[in-house]
Structure 1
Amino acid sequence: MAPNPLAPAWLALPADANDLAPGLWPANAARTDAGELALGGVTASELVARFGTPLYVVDEADARARAAELRSVFETEFARIGSAVHVYYAGKAFLSTDVVRWMLEAGLNIDVCTTGELAVALAAGADPARLGYHGNNKSLAEIDEAARVRIGSLVIDSEIEIARVAAAAARHGVVLNVRLRVNSGVHASTHDFLATSHEDQKFGVVLDDAARLVTLIRAEKSLRFIGLHCHIGSQIFGADGFAESASRLLAVHAALLAGGPVPELNLGGGFGIAYTSADTPTPIAELAARLADIVQAECARRAIPVPDVAFEPGRVIIGPAGVTLYEVGTIKPVDISGATRLYVSVDGGMSDNIRPALYGADYSVRLANRVSDAAPALVRLAGKHCESGDVVVNAAYLPGDVTPGDLAAVPATGAYCWSLSNNYNYLGRPPVIAVGGGEARLLIRGETIDDLLARDTGVLHAAGVSTKVSTKVSTRVSTSSTQATQATNGKTGITR
C-alpha cells in the first residue's frame, strides 16, 4: 500500500495503525489482550464510563519517574564538574496541588508566574522557600504577595521591577533572592512564538544592560542578587542553543564577579519531547552531560569558579505522561485530486488543545477502544468548534474502519493542554485524572454548564439574586493547604 499523497512528507505509512509508537506514550500504556488501550492499568472504556470525554489522563508513576530521573541525572553530571543543581518544575506546563506534591517529593522546586499558580503551590503545602516566581508584568499586588510569603527567589524581568521588588521586600522586612532575566540573543530552533531569547520580544533585558541593572539591584538592601537567568525557548532538540547561550551568559557572569558574588546561573528549560514518530528529542542523560561539559569548559576558559546551575523543565516531565481521550462523532471523507482524507470529528478540540491552532503543533492519534486489521487511512482529527482551524491532529493514519462511537487517544498532551484550555463555544474544560496501579482518581474536576452559567450575572439577576460586588479586592493568598482566596473571580477555595 502506498502512502496517501495528501500526507505530509514526515508522516510514514505505518505497518500497523494500532501500534503504540515508543517514546510517544506514557510508560504504563499498553494494549490489553482484547486490543483496548489501558493507561496505568485502567482501560480507556472504564475511564470514559466513569469520567466521560474529553478526558485528560495523567500516568502518575510516569510523571514521578521522569521528575526523579531528570533531577538525578542533572545532579550527577553537575556534581562531576563541582557544581550543585537546582531544578524547578515549570508549573505553567500543568499545575495542580497533586502535581506540586509529586514534584516536591521527587526533589524538585516549583516555578510559578502568577498569584493563581502561587496559590496552588501554597495550597499543596509547598514551602515558599522552594518556589521561584517569574513573569514579565508582575503586578504590584503579585510582587507584594511574593514578598509577604517570603518566596525563595524572584526573577526581575525589567528595570522598572527593581524598585518595585525592593520596596515590597523592605515593606515585609525580608531580603529577597533575585535573578535578572537577560536575552542572550540565541534564537532557539522552534516556533517563533516559543523562541524567548531574541531581542525583539517581551521577556527580559538585553545582555548589554545586565551590568548596569545588577549594580542597581546590588544597591538595594532588601535584594540579594543570585545570578543571571535566560530561557531561550521551548520544545528544543539538541544542546547547541544552550551551549551558545551559556557561553554568552558566562562572559557577563565573569564580569559581574568583580562587583560581588554571583552564586548561580539559571539556564531555563525548554527541553523538547516527541509528539510524533518523526520527532527525535535529545535523551535527558545526554543533554545533562553535554550541558555540564559546556559550563565546565566555559568557566575554565574564563578562569572562574563553576557556579550552581538552575534549570526549569516542565514539558519534558509532564508532557509524555499525559493522554487525552475523545469520542468520535462524525466521519467525513473528503476527496482531493483523486486522494481521500477522512475528517474524524471528536467531542473536543481547540478548547482542550489549542496548540495545533496556536503553533501548528503536530500530534499523533490511535483508536483506544479496539484494534482493527482494516487498511490504514489518512485522517485529520477535527474538533467540534466553529473554526475551520479547529484541528487536534493534522495528519495521522488510523484503521480505515474508524466509526462514530470509537474512542480516540492523543498522546503527549500532559503539558500546555489543560493549562491553555478555554471555554470557547461555552464548552466546559474537561476533568483531569491520575491513573496508576489499576486505579483512577480525580485531580481536577471538569466544568459543567452550571459552572459556566454561575459566572453570568444575568442568570443570577433573572433568578432574583443580588449581583452587587464589593469594590474592595483582596490579593491575599492563604497558605492553608485546603483553601486559597482568588478575589479576581470572586471564588474562594480550591476543589480537590
Structure 2
Amino acid sequence: MNEQLTEQQINAAGHLTIGGCDAIELAHKYGTPLVVYDVSRIRDQIRRFKKVFEANQVDYAVSYASKAFAAIAMYQVAAAAGAHIDVVSGGELYTAIKAGFPMDRVSFHGNNKSADELAMAIHHHVGVIMLDNFHETDLLSQLLEENDAKIKVMLRITPGIAAHTNKYIQTGQVDSKFGFDLASGQADEALEKVLANPRMEMLGLHAHIGSQIFELAGFEGVADKLVEVASHWQAKYGYQARVINVGGGFGIRYVSVDHPLMPEEFVDAIIKAIKTAVAKTNLDLPAIWIEPGRSIVGPAGYNLYTVGSRKDVPGLKPYVTVDGGMGDNIRPALYQAEYETVLASNPHAPIEEHVRLAGKYCESGDILSQDQGLPATKPGDVLAMLDTGAYGYAMASNYNRNPRPAVVFAENGHDQLVIERESYADLVHLDRPYEQQ
C-alpha cells in the first residue's frame, strides 16, 4: 500500500476512505472529477500548530493562508478552529465575509491591492493590512482620510533570503515583486511614513520566503533577520514591534522521495530562533505569527478521477487518461509538481505497470504524472490522487470550457457538498451575444 495511506483508511471492502467515507461511493454519488477533503485532518493540523506555540509560552496567531483553498466552508472550519486567515484579493475577502469569519482575525495581503479592495477592507474593519509598497501606502492613507477611519498595518519586507524551492514560488529574495527592500532603505522609509500617519497603527513586520520548503535554515535565517530589523527600528525610531510574522511555506510530502520535517517542527525551530535573537536585544518578545496554507489543507485533499481511454505504443510508456487534468490541477503542468495516485477500489493492489497519467484537456502538457505506478486499470476505474488539497481547486480553470469539479467535505463518516459542480449553463451565464452593427 502507498506509504502515505494508513490501514485505518481502508474499509472492509478494501476501498480507500476519506474522512471515514468510501471513496468509490463518493465518486458514484457526486461524480468525477471530484475534490474531497478530510476535514478532521485540517482541524488536527491547526491544533498541532497551536499546541507548539502554547508549549513555548508565546503569544501567537496561526493564520491560514487561504489562497491555498478558499471557500465559505473552509473559512468556517478555520474560524471554528480558532485560526486567523490571510486573504489576497477582494474575492477571498468577500468569501470570508459571506462565511461570517471574524474580520478582526483577517490579514489582507497582496502586491497590487486596488482602491476598491482596500475600501472593502476598511469598511469591514479587517484586522490588519499588510503593506507591500509605497503606492499602496499612499492609496490606503488617502482612503482612510476619505472614510475618516483607522486601521492596523504591518510592513512586508524582502529579507534577502531565497528559499531552496521552485524559482516561481520563491518570494524572499531581493529581486522579488513583493515587499519593501531592506538594503536600499525602503523599509525604513516605509516605517517613517506609517509612524507619521495617525490613521495607521503599526502592528509589526512580515516576511515570506517561499513555498514547499524542506530546510530549516531559511526559516531560522528570516527569524533572525526580522528580529534584527525590529531591533534596528527600536533603536532608530523608538518603535517596538508587537508582531513578527514569518509567513509560511512549510513543505509537505507529495511523493516517496519527499522527506520534510513535520510542519510543527518548523514552527518550533522558528519560535526558538526568535526567542534566542530577541534575548540579545532590548526588545520585548513580540507575538509570533505564521501563515501556513499548503501544510493545513494539502494532505487533507484528494482528487478522484475516472479512467477513460488508454494509448499504447510499443517501446513507450502507456498513456492512461482520466476525466480531469490541468483544469482542476494545473500544478504538474505549471511547476512539474508530482503526486501519488492509487486505485480507490484497492489501494493495496500491487503495481503492475508505470504509466503517464494524462488529462482530458487539449494540451500535450496536460499530464498529471509522467511516471505513475499503477495496478492494471480499465475504463470506469476510480483513481485517487493524494495530497491535492492545496492550489488544486484554487487554481482551477474552465479551459476548453470544462466545468470545474464539485468539492465535498468528509468527516466522521459523513459527507457534505460544499461547492457544487459547475454546469454547462454556468459556463455561459456571463456571456452576451454579439449584435453586429
CA shift in 2, pair 1:392/1:385, >3 Å: same
Shift of 1:372: 7.1
Shift of 1:374: 5.7
Task: Write the deviation string for residues 151-206 of structure 1: whole angstroms up to 9, x where unpaired.
Answer: 10001100111121122223333321111111111111110010011122211121
Shift of 1:385: 0.8
**Structure 1 residue 244 and structure 2 residue 226: aligned?**
no
Q: Which runs of 5+ in 1 are unaligned?
A: 1-18, 463-496
Which one is further off, 413-422 or 251-260?
Answer: 251-260
Cα distance in 2 for partners of 1:370, 1:432 equals 23
**Which one of 381, 392, 396 corresponds to residue 368 of structure 2?**
392
Cα distance in 2 for partners of 1:375, 1:361 equals 21
AA in 2 matched with 1:351: G
Q: CA RMSD in A?
A: 1.8
**Which one of 407, 411, 419 corresponds to residue 436 of structure 1?**
411
Cα distance in 2 for partners of 1:151, 1:256 equals 25
Shift of 1:41: 2.2
> Does the CA contact (< 8 Å) of 1:196 and 1:231 recur in 2?
yes
**Which one of 217, 224, 229 corresponds to residue 206 of structure 2?**
229
Q: 2:38 is matched with which residue?
A: 59
Q: 1:138 is matched with which residue?
A: 113
What TM-score do you get using the length of structure 1 for normalisation? 0.84
SS in structure 1 of the partner of residue 384 of structure 2: strand
> Does the CA contact (< 8 Å) of 2:62 and 2:289 recur in 1?
yes
CA shift in 2, pair 1:274/1:303, >3 Å: same
Cα distance in 1 for partners of 2:21, 2:431 equals 38
| Equivalent residue runs for 1:15-54 within 5 Å | 19-22=1-4, 25=5, 30-54=9-33
| Equivalent residue runs for 1:404-415 within 5 Å | 404-415=379-390
Aligned identity (percent) is 37
Q: 1:320 is matched with which residue?
A: 299
**Structure 1 residue 311 and structure 2 residue 290: aligned?**
yes
> Does the CA contact (< 8 Å) of 1:432 and 1:442 recur in 2?
yes
Task: Write the deviation string for residues 264-293 of structure 1: whole angstroms up to 9, x where unpaired.
Answer: 111001111111111111113322221111
Q: 1:470 is matched with which residue?
A: none
SS in structure 1 of the partner of residue 312 of structure 2: strand
| Equivalent residue runs for 1:284-363 within 5 Å | 284-336=263-315, 340-363=316-339
> Does the CA contact (< 8 Å) of 1:332 and 1:342 recur in 2?
yes
Cα distance in 1 for partners of 2:357, 2:93 equals 35
> Does the CA contact (< 8 Å) of 2:67 and 2:394 recur in 1?
yes
Shift of 1:29: 6.4
**Which one of 218, 222, 232 corresponds to residue 255 of structure 1?**
232
Shift of 1:303: 3.8
**Which one of 244, 248, 251 corresponds to residue 269 of structure 1?**
248
Q: 2:396 is matched with which residue?
A: 421
**Structure 1 residue 153 and structure 2 residue 128: aligned?**
yes
SS in structure 2 of the partner of residue 327 of structure 1: strand
CA shift in 2, pair 1:377/1:173, >3 Å: same
SS in structure 2 of the partner of residue 320 of structure 1: coil
**Structure 1 residue 177 and structure 2 residue 146: aligned?**
no
> Does the CA contact (< 8 Å) of 1:109 and 1:130 recur in 2?
yes
Task: Write the deviation string for residues 95-137 of structure 1: whole angstroms up to 9, x where unpaired.
Answer: 1111111111111111111111111111111121111100100
CA shift in 2, pair 1:192/1:373, >3 Å: closer
> Does the CA contact (< 8 Å) of 1:20 and 1:30 recur in 2?
no
Cα distance in 2 for partners of 1:281, 1:98 equals 29
Cα distance in 1 for partners of 2:176, 2:130 equals 17
AA in 2 matched with 1:156: L
Cα distance in 2 for partners of 1:356, 1:172 equals 45
Q: 2:72 is matched with which residue?
A: 97
Shift of 1:356: 0.6
What TM-score do you get using the length of structure 2 for normalisation? 0.95
| Equivalent residue runs for 1:57-136 within 5 Å | 57-77=36-56, 79=57, 83-136=58-111
Shift of 1:411: 0.6
Q: 2:342 is matched with which residue?
A: 366
CA shift in 2, pair 1:29/1:204, >3 Å: farther
Shift of 1:371: 5.5
AA in 2 matched with 1:256: W
The alignment covers a number of residue pairs equal to 432
CA shift in 2, pair 1:373/1:271, >3 Å: closer
CA shift in 2, pair 1:171/1:437, >3 Å: same
Shift of 1:28: 9.2
Cα distance in 2 for partners of 1:360, 1:169 equals 43
Which one is further off, 207-216 or 51-60?
Answer: 207-216
Shift of 1:213: 1.2
SS in structure 1 of the partner of residue 311 of structure 2: strand
CA shift in 2, pair 1:204/1:375, >3 Å: closer
Cα distance in 1 for partners of 2:358, 2:136 equals 43
